């Protein structure tokens, strides 16, 4: 094989794949620390089933909020079940969007409030397909290294290409 072939192979095959993986956040690491977060006000519906389909539920909430004349903010999810022990079809989460305090949320949506609190915060800059697995893997590694347990529910916010996972810290 000659040098020209390898340069073309790298230029037209390997480099584009690496660029796509980089763009999706494949090489991004998670950042973990403690922070004060909240309060949050949100509109949601309960998502039941595979968490990979939670985006469909959030899209439905978005449409309903627009119909109700309420401006949707950042997408939010509260993970209510531990996916390590709960079968995918039995998973439950609250899926929706942040809304202004006092927004007149009506059925079929529900309104929720998460108070200000101290959390263990994990952030990952990656696509919505990769970010959750990277964030929870880092969170579980941190918890294991510090003899801590996962405290549910966790709060997920996805904004500007960054997923933030918040776990309440109880002392």
**3-class DSSP string for 8-41:** HHHHHHHHHHHHHHHHHCCCCCEEEEEEEECCEE
Tell me the domains of the chain and their CATH numbers. Answer: 30-168 (3.20.80.10)
Contact 129, 24 (CB under 8 A): yes
User: Which DSSP symbol is given to 69?
Assistant: T
pLDDT digits (tens, 9 = 90+) for 76-127: 999 999 989 999 999 999 999 999 999 999 999 999 999 999 999 999 987 7
Question: pLDDT of 3-32, one tens digit each?
Answer: 877 776 666 665 556 555 555 555 567 999
Token representation of residue 156:
């997920």
């Amino acid at each position: 094989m000659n040098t020209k072939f390898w340069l073309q192979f790298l230029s037209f095959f390997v480099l584009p794949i690496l660029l796509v993986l980089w763009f999706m956040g494949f090489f991004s690491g998670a950042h973990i620390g403690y922070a004060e977060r909240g309060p949050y006000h949100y509109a949601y519906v309960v998502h039941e089933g595979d968490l990979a389909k939670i985006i469909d539920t959030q899209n439905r909430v978005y449409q309903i909020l627009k119909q109700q004349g309420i401006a949707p903010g950042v997408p939010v999810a509260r993970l209510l079940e531990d996916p390590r022990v709960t079968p995918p079809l039995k998973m439950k989460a609250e899926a929706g969007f942040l809304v202004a305090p006092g927004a007149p949320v009506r059925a079929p949506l529900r309104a929720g409030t998460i108070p200000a609190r101290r959390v263990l915060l994990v952030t990952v800059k990656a696509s919505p397909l990769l970010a959750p697995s990277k964030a929870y893997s880092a969170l579980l590694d941190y918890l294991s290294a510090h003899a801590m347990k996962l405290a549910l529910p966790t709060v997920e916010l996805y904004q500007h290409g960054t997923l933030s996972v918040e776990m309440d810290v109880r002392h």
